[in-house]
Amino acid sequence: PLMRIDIISIFPGYFAALDQSLIGRAIADGLLDVRVHDLRDWTHDRHRTVDDTPYGGGAGMVMKPEPWGEALDALLASRRDDGRLRPSGQGTVRAQEDAASSVTVRREQADGSAPLPVLVVPTPAGIRFTQAMAEEFASASGLAFACGRYEGIDHRVIEWASDRFDVREVSLGDYVLNGGEVATLAMIEAVARLVPGVIGNPESLLEESHSQTVGGLLEAPVYTKPAAWRGLRVPEILLSGNHALIAAWRKEQSETLTRSRRPDLLDGH
């Protein structure tokens, strides 16, 4: 596989969605190796506890550091050996046995040492996820997501992990989700479609890199047959066959749309 993605979550069921559509095809074709791990596999009490009350008081619960520590230890160990994750204490092999699957795109660091695997921690307190970030993640040597729930993960986990991973606390946008799972799904989709071969027609990637919301402009509206539908006609210029005129029309539409909906994207233009 070109890219291995590990996900640690207390709701592994969310990631069944990855078996659908283009990402599902890429996994089936062996382009992507996605492994979902249940954080509770690294708990040791009868109730498989992952949270506790916050020091200093306040509402809600905080995710305990110990299960995260063990899960991340297992992730690091699996990069060293053959790519399998073992919940500590049980010795069980959780992910599928495929020695070749630990092969990822490798980029050396400036000093020639092995690159740190990227660990994405979705949080509304993170820096904003962008297309540029998706492009960067798409060429990472390894990608992992740590999905927090409740009020977040004990911050010492982030501190400890920062010496061993390239940790990125990332927010999907200025709104609050119940946990990192849905944000992780969105980020994986944005990243995976940039991995060579995942999208059938790579031209669609080239086109959007300068025509969509990627620091460029919003895309003009699109139409298909029939030319008239419920009394509404497709803009005549699109039926003209004049490619220069069509390009000019789309550019004008893009600029108008961007000015009204996303003037922030025009600042650099």
Q: Which residues bind ligand ADE (CB under 6 A)?
A: 122-124, 171-173, 175-177, 179-180, 183
Question: In angstroms, what is the minimal distance from the CB of 50 to ligand ADE?
Answer: 16
> Is the preceding omega at residue 226 within 30 degrees of 0, hence cis?
yes
Q: How far apart are CA 214 and CA 262, in angstroms?
A: 12
* β-strands 228-229, 232-233 pairing: antiparallel
Q: Cβ of residue 186: shortest distance to ligand ADE, in angstroms?
A: 9
**Cα distance between residue 197 and residue 30, in whole Å:** 10
Residue 206 known to bind ligand = no
Is the CB of 32 or the CB of 120 nearer to ligand ADE? 120
- The residue number whose beta carbon is nearest to ligand ADE equals 122
How wide is the angle at C-alpha 69 spanned by C-alphas 83 and 163, nearest 5°?
80
Cα 225 from chain centroid?
34
Q: Is 142 annotated as a binding residue?
A: no
Provide the β-strand partners of residue 7: 36, 145
**Residue 58: which residues within 8 A CB-CB, separation 6 or more?**
151
Question: Is 217 marked as binding a ligand?
Answer: no
Beta carbon of residue 58, minimum distance to ligand ADE (angstroms, whole number): 17
Give least dist CB 122 to ligand ADE, A.
Answer: 3
Q: Is 2 annotated as a binding residue?
A: no
Q: What proportions of the chain, in percent to the nearest 5, are helix, strand and coil?
A: 40, 15, 45
DSSP of 240-253:
S--HHHHHHHHHHH
* Residues sharing a CB contact under 8 Å with residue 48, sequence separation 6 or more, in sequence order: 40
Nearer of residues 136 and 219 to ligand ADE, judged by Cβ: 136
Q: Which amino acid is at 236?
A: E
Instruction: Find the farthest-apart pair of alpha carbons in the chain and give their distance in angstroms, rounded.
Output: 70
Query: Is 22 labelled as part of a ligand binding site?
Result: no
Considering the complex, what minimum distance in angstroms separates the CB of residue 221 from ligand ADE? 28
* Distance, CA of 133 to CA of 42 (rounded, Å): 30
Q: Closer to ligand ADE by CB, 61 or 177: give it.
A: 177
Residue among 173 and 235 whose Cβ is closer to ligand ADE:
173
Write the single-letter amino acid at 75. Answer: L
257 is in an annotated binding site: no
174 is in an annotated binding site: yes
Minimum distance from residue 129 beta carbon to ligand ADE (Å): 7
Q: Which is nearer to ligand ADE, 55 or 175 (CB)?
A: 175
28 or 127: whose CB is closer to ligand ADE? Answer: 127
Residues annotated within a binding site for S-adenosyl-L-methionine = 148, 172-177
Residues annotated within a binding site = 148, 172-177
